[in-house]
């Protein structure tokens, strides 16, 4: 069963609990996409943008907007059948080629170093292991994970004293594949527990420039293409450009974006988005957040506030907090993962920009160190260049097919 299959569920009438918080009257505007059709249907007519602006600013208090939208949901059929289009199934060979191309620099760096480490040596001895250790660390696998790998190989060498260096590649592949399996034990669909009648809410966090907004856009496109109704909350209200950038992505993806003005309370945007999503029977909600505020403590406090306010609309929301890390920053990505996981509960990772870097080893080290599964990897700026992370395909792209 794939990720999207989890959203292939019967739609029941959403039960919206009255929120217990005071919600200020806010300006709400939505970018109403023209395509695909199902998304357009869910937006109240008077709020659909005209062609010129694609945007309507309705000066209506948030509560009132929700009541109006709830009425629309009640008129919907109880069950929405979602057609899976087999033609959309990615061709596995093409996917592999794209992944290999995206990881090319990492692969070259990794094996270039490995070759140099074993050049002129025949058996795996202490010196080879020392060099291998250095190679893994300089490939951004991280010290802790490197030590684990080296210890595992040492144990094998102890059993087979004359292990040939030509076998090292296969052994390394096996050990890395094993580690990745350990940190991704819970299958491809980890963490997703969709409750009937409620959208699956994903809050996206990470430092500025990591690729949050781009990842949300790419993911929204994947989901709408699979027939899901996607709402996006523009909760990065720190910069006006951030909202505009997200609006462009939402439109490209055919998703509905809920926004307020720059500088407004991000928690209030998240709240509005969830109310609107529930009222309109959305399948998935993606919440974009700021990567930089006046200071780090302020950012972490704000993320906590956004988190908390969402549970007032859907008690167990957010269902997922995805940390986006820029893979090309290597060791910095480890540091960011450390800070975010300490400050907020992170349940999944997306590692971006692996296309432009030889530091793809971070994927191995970070998933091992933090025991948080990598859900997606970004291998380019294009809308299709977000790949569902598959540990086996990742190892395959780096090492080639297993010999046995």
Ligand X SMILES: Nc1nc2c(ncn2[C@@H]2O[C@H](COP(=O)(O)OP(=O)(O)OP(=O)(O)O)[C@@H](O)[C@H]2O)c(=O)[nH]1
Which residues have CB under 8 Å from 240's CB, separation 6+? Answer: 262
Under the binding rule (CB under 6 A), the answer on residue 222 touching ligand X is no
CB-nearer residue toward ligand X: 32 or 242: 242
CB-nearer residue toward Mg ion: 266 or 281: 266
Q: How far is the CB of 372 from ligand X (least distance, A)?
A: 18
Find the binder of Mg ion among 106, 145, 213, 273 (CB under 5 A).
213
Site string for Mg ion, 280-299 (x = CB under 5 A): --------------------
Residues 223-262 that bind Mg ion (CB under 5 A): 242
Under the binding rule (CB under 6 A), the answer on residue 233 touching ligand X is no
Q: How far is the CB of 267 from ligand X (least distance, A)?
A: 17
Which residues have CB under 8 Å from 12's CB, separation 6+? Answer: 78, 196, 197
Q: Which residue has the tokens 């509560």?
A: 63
Residues 60 and 26 sit within 8 Å (Cβ to Cβ): no
The CA distance from 314 to 271, in Å, is 10
CB-nearer residue toward ligand X: 85 or 381: 381
Find the binder of ligand X among 98, 133, 140, 236 (CB under 6 A).
236
Q: How far is the CB of 237 from ligand X (least distance, A)?
A: 11
Under the binding rule (CB under 5 A), the answer on residue 214 touching Mg ion is no
The CA distance from 153 to 276, in Å, is 54
Find the binder of ligand X among 199, 281, 291, 360 (CB under 6 A).
291
Phi, psi at 318, each rounded to 5°: -75, 145
Q: How many CB atoms lie within 10 A of CB 49?
A: 18
The CA distance from 245 to 290, in Å, is 13
Q: Compute CA distances 252 → 34, 273, 374, whole Å.
A: 10, 19, 25
The size of the interface with ligand X (CB under 6 A), counted in residues, is 21
Q: How far is the CB of 286 from Mg ion (least distance, A)?
A: 12
Under the binding rule (CB under 6 A), the answer on residue 273 touching ligand X is no
Q: Which residues of 316-354 are buried (b: 16+ CB within 10 A; e: fewer)?
A: ebbbbbbbbbbbbbbeebbebbeebbebbebbbbbbbbb
Which residues have CB under 8 Å from 26's CB, separation 6+? Answer: 61, 62, 260, 264, 268, 272
Under the binding rule (CB under 6 A), the answer on residue 380 touching ligand X is yes
- Among Mg ion, ligand X, none, the one that 353 touches (CB under a kind-dependent 5 to 8 A) is ligand X
Find the binder of ligand X among 210, 226, 232, 333 (CB under 6 A).
210
Using only the alpha carbons of the chain, give its radius of gyration. Answer: 23
Find the binder of ligand X among 29, 139, 146, 214 (CB under 6 A).
214
- Among ligand X, Mg ion, none, the one that 169 touches (CB under a kind-dependent 5 to 8 A) is none
Q: Compute CA distances 318 → 52, 123, 162, 290, 306, whole Å.
A: 34, 52, 53, 16, 9
Alpha-helical (H) ranges within 239-330 are 240-253, 266-279, 296-310
Under the binding rule (CB under 6 A), the answer on residue 237 touching ligand X is no
CB-nearer residue toward ligand X: 267 or 379: 379
Contact stretch for ligand X (CB under 6 A) within 57-65, 90-98, 202-210, 305-313: 202-210
Cross-strand bridge partners of residue 324: 350
Q: How far is the CB of 12 from ligand X (least distance, A)?
A: 34
Under the binding rule (CB under 6 A), the answer on residue 356 touching ligand X is yes
Q: How far is the CB of 9 from ligand X (least distance, A)?
A: 30
Task: Tell me 328's DSSP state.
Answer: G
CB-nearer residue toward ligand X: 80 or 383: 383
Interface residues with ligand X (CB under 6 A)?
206, 208-214, 236, 242, 291, 324, 352-353, 355-356, 378-381, 385
């Amino acid at each position: 069963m794939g990720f999207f299959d989890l959203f292939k569920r019967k739609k029941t009438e959403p039960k919206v609990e009255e929120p217990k918080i005071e919600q200020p009257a806010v300006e709400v505007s939505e970018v109403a996409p023209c395509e695909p059709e199902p998304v357009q249907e869910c937006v109240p007519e008077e709020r659909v943008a005209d062609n010129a602006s694609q945007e309507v600013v309705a000066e209506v208090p948030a509560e009132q907007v929700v009541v109006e939208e709830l009425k629309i949901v009640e008129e919907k059929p109880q069950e929405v059948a979602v057609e899976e289009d087999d033609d959309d199934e990615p061709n596995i060979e093409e996917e592999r080629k794209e992944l290999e191309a995206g990881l090319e620099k990492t692969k070259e760096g990794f094996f270039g170093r490995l070759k140099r480490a074993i050049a002129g040596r025949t058996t795996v001895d202490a010196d080879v292991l020392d060099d291998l250790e250095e190679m893994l660390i300089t490939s951004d696998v991280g010290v802790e994970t490197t030590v684990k790998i080296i210890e595992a190989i040492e144990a094998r060498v102890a059993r087979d004293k004359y292990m040939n260096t030509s076998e090292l590649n296969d052994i390394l592949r096996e050990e890395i594949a094993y580690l990745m399996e350990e940190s991704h034990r819970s299958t491809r669909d980890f963490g997703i527990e969709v409750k009937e009648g409620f959208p699956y809410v994903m809050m996206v966090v990470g430092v500025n420039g990591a690729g949050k907004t781009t990842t949300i856009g790419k993911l929204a496109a994947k989901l709408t293409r699979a027939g899901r109704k996607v709402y996006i909350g523009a909760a990065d209200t720190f910069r006006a450009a951030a909202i505009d950038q997200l609006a462009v992505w939402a439109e490209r993806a055919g998703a509905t974006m809920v926004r307020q003005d720059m500088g407004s309370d991000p928690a209030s945007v998240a709240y509005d988005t969830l109310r609107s999503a529930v009222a309109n029977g959305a399948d998935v909600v993606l919440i974009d957040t700021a990567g930089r505020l006046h200071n780090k403590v302020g950012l972490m406090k704000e993320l906590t506030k956004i988190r908390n306010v969402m549970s007032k609309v859907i008690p167990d929301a957010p269902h997922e907090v995805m940390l986006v890390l820029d893979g090309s920053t290597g060791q910095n990505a480890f540091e960011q993962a450390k800070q975010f996981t300490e400050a907020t509960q992170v349940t999944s990772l997306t590692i971006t920009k692996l296309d432009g870097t030889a530091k793809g080893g971070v994927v191995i080290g970070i998933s091992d160190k933090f025991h948080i599964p990598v859900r997606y990897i970004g291998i380019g700026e294009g809308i299709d260049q977000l790949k569902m992370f598959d540990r086996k395909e990742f190892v395959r792209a780096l090492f080639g097919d297993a010999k046995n």
